[in-house]
Amino acid sequence: MPESKHRKKRRGKRPPPKQVESPRKRGPSPTWYVALMFGLMAVGALIIILNYMGLVPGDTSNVYLVVGLAAIAGGFGMTLNFH
């Protein structure tokens, strides 16, 4: 049976891994940020509900739906920076 070739041994050790600077530690999010985040989500949901109930000025419109969804998306987008 044929024998496999042996690998050459390295003379030195591997260099130590580079030290990566840790990102600056940030404190908790301010209260106004949290209130705005949840407020946008709540207002967006309220606009959509009131639109489907017909309680918004004018007739039910897709514009209200888009505005409500944009407010909800803005609130969820703010969660990316929440800490």
Q: Where are the domains of the chain?
A: 31-81
pLDDT tens digit string along 4-36?
A: 777 766 676 777 777 777 677 888 989 999 999
pLDDT digits (tens, 9 = 90+) for 48-82: 999 999 999 988 899 999 999 999 999 999 999 98
Question: How many CB atoms within 10 Å of residue 71?
Answer: 20
* Averaged pLDDT score across all residues of the chain: 88
51 Cβ partners below 8 Å, 6+ apart?
Answer: 60, 61, 64, 65, 68
Q: Could you tell me the pLDDT band of residue 2, with boundaries at 50, 70 and 90?
A: confident
Assigned token pair, 28? 């908790």
Residues 78 and 40: beta-carbon distance below 8 Å: yes
pLDDT at residue 9, rounded to an integer: 67
Angle CA(61)–CA(64)–CA(67) in degrees, nearest 5?
150
Return d(Cα 80, Cα 51) in angstroms, integer.
Answer: 28
